[in-house]
Amino acid sequence: MEKQFIIDDFKMGESWRLFKIIGEFVDGVEALHDIGPAVSIFGTARARPGDDIYDKAEAIASRFVQNGFAVITGGGPGVMEAANKGATEAGGTSVGLNIHLPFEQAPNPYAGIKVEFRYFFIRKVMLVKYAMAYIIMPGGFGTLDEMFEAVTLIQTKRIRPFPVILVGTDYWGGLVDWIRSRLVAEGRINPDDLNILQVMDDPDEVVATVKRLVIV
C-alpha cells in the first residue's frame, strides 16, 4: 500500500501534491481547533499492555483528563494506544493523529477523534500547534525526532515555550547528561537551553508541573 502511495504521488506531480498537502492541513485544523487545552504524549510504538511504559502512559493520560486536558497522540500502538486508552476511559477527549507507514502504525481503537496523515511534517505541526505541553515517554528514533524538533522550535523562538517533560529518569538521564557534558560544555547550546527539558518519573508530578507552568 505504501509503495502505491509513493507511485501515485509521483504521478500527481509537484503542483497537485501541494493541494494534497493543503488538504491535510485543513483536515487537521478542522478536527482539532475546538479541543481546548491539550497535551501531546509520545513514546514507543512497541510497548504492550502490562509493560511499565504502557501502564504509566495510560495513567498519565488519565490524570491529565481528570485535570481538564485533552490528550493527543500519534494514533498508533504502544504508548500512543496507552495514552488514548487512558484518556478515553477517563471520559476525556482522546485524539489520534495517525501516519501511514509500511509497518507498525495501525490506528488504535481508543482515539475518539482520528485524523489520517501521509506527510510527517503536517502531523508534526498539529502535534505542536494544539499542545500546551509535550510528554515524552521512552521511545526510538520517531520519539527523539519529535522531541528535538519541539526543543529546537522553542530554542529558536519559533513557537511559544511550553513544558517538554521526559518521563523516566533511568531512560533519559544519560541523554540529558550527554547534552550537559558535550553540547553545553562545548558551547554548542546555551546553558539555559537545557532548561527546556525536564525529567521526572511520577505521573502526578508530571501533571502538576504542566498545570503550574501553563494557563488552563
CA-nearest of 104, 113, 56, 102 to 79 is 56
pLDDT of residue 12: 58
pLDDT of residue 97: 96
CA-nearest of 147, 144, 155 to 188 is 155
User: Cα–Cα distance between 8 and 173 in angstroms, integer?
Assistant: 44
User: Cα–Cα distance between 26 and 119 in angstroms, integer?
Assistant: 13
CA-nearest of 20, 3, 12, 8 to 117 is 20
pLDDT of residue 103: 63
pLDDT of residue 34: 94
- Residue 86: give its domain's CATH number: 3.40.50.450
What's the structural domain count of the chain? Answer: 1
User: Cα–Cα distance between 117 and 28 in angstroms, integer?
Assistant: 9
Output the tens digit of pLDDT for each of the chain's 216 residues: 555 555 555 555 777 888 889 999 999 999 999 999 999 999 999 999 999 999 999 999 999 999 999 999 999 999 999 999 999 999 999 999 998 776 656 789 999 999 999 999 999 999 999 999 999 999 999 999 999 999 999 999 999 999 999 999 999 999 999 999 999 999 999 999 999 999 999 999 999 999 999 865
Q: Are 134 and 56 in contact (CB under 8 A)?
A: no
SS3 assignment for 43-78: CCCCCCCCCHHHHHHHHHHHHHHHCCCEEEECCCCC
SS3 assignment for 115-176: EEECCHHHHHHHHHHCCCCEEECCCCHHHHHHHHHHHHHHHCCCCCCCCEEEECHHHHHHHH
Structural domain boundaries, residue 159: 2-213
User: Cα–Cα distance between 82 and 71 in angstroms, integer?
Assistant: 11
Strand partners, 167: 200
Predicted TM-score (pTM) of this structure: 0.90
